[in-house]
Amino acid sequence: MKLMILMLMGVWSTFTCYANVDIRGTANFSQRLYTDAQPEHHENQSLIFIESEFYVPINTNWSMLAKPYARYDSLEAARHQLDFKELNVSYVKGNFDAKVGVSEVFWGVTESRHLVDIVNQTDVLSSIDGEDKLGQPMVQLNWLHNSGAIQMFVMPYFRERNFASKVQRLHPDIVISSESKYEDTQESSHTDFAFRATNSIDNWELAVSYFNGTNRTPTMIQEADHYTPYYSQLLQYGFEIQGVFGAWLIKNEIIYRKGQFDWAIAHTSGFEYTHAGVLGDIDLGYLFEYSFDDLDEQSPSSFQNDLFFGMRVVINDIAGSEFLIGAVTDIDTHHWTMFRVEGSTRITPALRLKGELWVGDETRPNDPFYSVKQDDFLQLSIEYYF
Amino acid sequence: MRNLTKQLAVTSLLLSSTLTFAQTDEEKGQRLAQLADKINSGWVDQTVDITMTLQNKAGEKNIRKVRNEALEVEGDGDKSIVVFDTPYDVKGTVMLSFSHKVGDDDQWLYLPALKRVKRISSSNKSGPFMGSDFAYEDMSSQEVEKYTYRFIREDKFKGQAVNVVERIPVYDNSGYSKQLVWLDEKRTIPLQIEYFDRKGSALKTQHFKGYKLHNQRFWRVDDLTMINHQKGTQTTISFENYSINQGVRLTNFAQANLSRIR
C-alpha cells in the first residue's frame, strides 16, 4: 500500500512539472459547542479540514488525479488525519475507462441510510452522518452505454475503520483496541471484488451490485477491559430502484448479505416529494424513509426498524440558501433517536456559512457500541472554496 | 357602392398576399413557430460558454459561469449538459437533462463532493435557475409542441418588421399564463419575449442582443437579458465560444459519463 502510494507520487511529481494542472478545493473551519456539560469532556471543539484536488490531463486518454485531505481536531490527536481521498491514474477510450490507484465511489439512491454503498470505508471520525469516506486502493474498470454502465472493482488492500483512541465525544462509550482481528488469514491484504451494473429506463433508475470481500463494518468483540474490532468476510448482493413521477421520487435499496452470521436482508424504502414555488420561489422537499434490518441484535447497525422524516427547504435566492431537517424514530421503542437541522448560505462566491444542530438520543443497554452519549451539539462552520 | 366593392376587393387581395391564404390567427402562429423551429434545426450538437450576471434591485451584481453542451435529438427534445464553474461551492456540479416535447424532462445531477449521480425531479420548471431571473423552462430546449400559438399582429421592433405571436404553455406546471414573442419577419428569430404570470400580469421581458450567423446557417445571440418587472431584478446571459456541429459523442450524455466530466 505504502509502496503503491510512493510510486504514484513519483509518477505524479514527474507529470505535474509540465502539464496543465487544474486545482480546486475546500477549506473548512468549524466550531462546535456541546450542550451537555460532562465532567470528563470538553464543551468546545474546533475542527479544520482542507481537501484539495489536483487534476492533470496528460493527453486525450490519460489523466491523473490527486485529492489530499488533511484534518485537525482540537480535542484529540487520533482525529488528526493526513490522507489521500483519491490518488489515481485514469485511462479513457470511448465508452471504456480504467482507473488505478486510490479512489472514491458512491452507490445508492436513498438519503437516510446508504446500504448498498460498500466500496469505501466510512470515515466515522470526520462526520456523524457516515457520508465521509476513506480513499480505497483499487483497479476500476467501467464500460458506459447510453443508458447506464457496467463497473468492476478489484481491491487489493482493505482500510480499517478509524476509531478514536480513548473515550471521546460522539464516539462509543467504550475503549476500542487499535489491534483488529480478521476472519481471513490475509487480513487487510485480502483481495476484494465488486461489480455493479446501472441502467436508466424511462423514469426508472435501476442498479444491481455484488461484493465479495472484507466487511467494512466490524463487529465488536468484548474483551476484559476493551473491545476488539472484528472484520469478517462478506458476500453482499445489492439492488437499487428509483422511480420519478412528476414531483414524486420513489426510492428503494435492498441488500442480501452473508457475513459473520447467516444470510440476512436489509432495506431502506421511501419517497421524496417536492412542493415547488411556496411563498414565491421556495421549494419544500419532504422525505420519508423506512429502514429495516433482519440481522437485528447481531447486526452492527442502529437501523433495525426505523423511520426517517426529512424536510429540505431550498430558498432559491442568489445566496443559494438551504436548510435540511431530519429526524429518526425507532418503531419498536417509539423513541426519537436523532434530530438534526442543517442550514447554509453563500456569503461571497467562494465562501459559505453553515450551521448545524444535532441531537442524538439512543440508548441500548445491550449494545454500548451503538449507544450515543449525551453529545448534542451546535456547530458553526465557514467553508472556503478555491 | 361600386367604389366600396372595389375597395373591398383590393383589401382582401392585400390581406391574402400577406396571409398567403386564408388562415386563422392560430394557424398563422403555429406556422411561424414551425418555421422558426425548421430554420434552427440541423445544428446536431453545440458547445458554448455561459456567463450569467445577476443584478438585484440595488444594482449589485453576482456572476455565475457554466459550460453547456447540447445534442439535437430527432423527434424529441434536446439532450443537454451544464457544468457549473462558479460560484465555487457548486464548482464541478453537472446537470444532465433530456428534454421532451411533451411532459416532464429527465434530469440528473452529479454532486462531486459525494461522487454521486442523482436522478432528480424536473417537474418544477418554473423555479429560478441558479437564483437568476431565468426559470428552468426559459432555458430548456424550445419545442413547437410545448405551446399553442396565435398570431397577434405585424409590428415594427427597433426598426425591423416583426410578427408578434402569442404562445400559451401546454405544460400544467408552467409558471406562465402566456408569452408574447416578437419574431423577426425576415429571419424568423425572436427579438423579444414578454412573459405573463399565472394571474395574467406582466412578469418578465427577455431581450435578444447581438445575433450572429454561425456555420453560415444558425443565428445565435451574444446576450440575453431577462428583466423581472415584479421584483426589479435582471439577469444577463452572455454566450462565448459557440461551437456547432463539431461531432460531440452521444455517450457524453450518458448518466454514467457525468463523473468523467471536468
What chain A holds in terms of domains, given with CATH numbers, is 90-385 (2.40.160)
pLDDT digits (tens, 9 = 90+) for B212-254: 999 999 999 999 999 999 999 999 999 999 999 999 888 899 9
Residues 6+ apart with CB under 8 A from B15: none
Query: Above pLDDT 90, what percent of chain A?
Result: 68
Find the DSSP H helices in A98-232. none
Q: What does the pLDDT read at residue A213? A: 97
Q: What does the pLDDT read at residue A102? A: 97
> In this predicted complex, what is the ipTM?
0.91
Low-confidence residues in chain B, pLDDT < 50: 1
Whether B171 contacts B185, CB under 8 Å: no
Cβ of residue A43 closer than 8 Å to a chain B Cβ: no
Closest to B30 in 3D by CA, of B197, B161, B171, B163: B163
Whether A305 contacts A333, CB under 8 Å: no
Q: β-strands A227-231, A181-182: how paired?
A: parallel
* C-beta neighbour count of A151 within 10 angstroms: 22
pTM, rounded to two decimals: 0.90
CA angle (B10 as vertex; B9, B13 as ends), nearest 5: 85
Q: Which residues of B touch A (CB under 8 A)?
A: 54, 56, 62-63, 86-92, 104, 106, 113-116, 118-124, 126-128, 130-131, 173, 175, 249-251, 253-257, 260, 262
Cβ of residue A386 closer than 8 Å to a chain B Cβ: yes
Cβ of residue A283 closer than 8 Å to a chain B Cβ: yes
Q: Alpha-carbon distance A252 to A238, whole Å?
A: 11
The residue among B53, B63, B124, B136 with the most chain A CBs within 10 A of its CB, best to mutate, is B124
CB distance A94–B251 less than 8 Å?
Answer: yes
Give the mean pLDDT of A99-121. Answer: 96
pLDDT digits (tens, 9 = 90+) for A189-242: 999 999 999 999 999 999 999 999 999 999 888 888 888 999 999 999 999 999
Identify the bridge partners of residue B165 per DSSP, sorted by sequence position: B151, B181
Domains and CATH numbers, chain B: 37-260 (2.50.20.10)
Closest to A69 in 3D by CA, of A46, A90, A52, A91: A52
Residues 6+ apart with CB under 8 A from B44: B71, B72, B244, B245, B247
A110 CA: distance to closest CA in chain B (Å)? 10
Closest alpha carbon within chain B to A201: B106
Q: Which helix (H) or strand (E) holds B26?
A: helix B25-39
Residues 6+ apart with CB under 8 A from A195: A150, A151, A152, A153, A209, A210, A211
Cβ of residue A9 closer than 8 Å to a chain B Cβ: no
Long-range CB pairs of A353-357, under 8 A, 24+ apart, other chains included? A353/A380, A353/A381, A353/A382, A353/A383, A354/A30, A354/A379, A354/A380, A354/A381, A354/A382, A354/A383, A355/A379, A355/A380, A355/A381, A356/A381
pLDDT grade for A168, boundaries at 50, 70 and 90: confident
Identify the bridge partners of residue A186 per DSSP, sorted by sequence position: none
Nearest to B88 among A105, A145, A386 (CB): A386
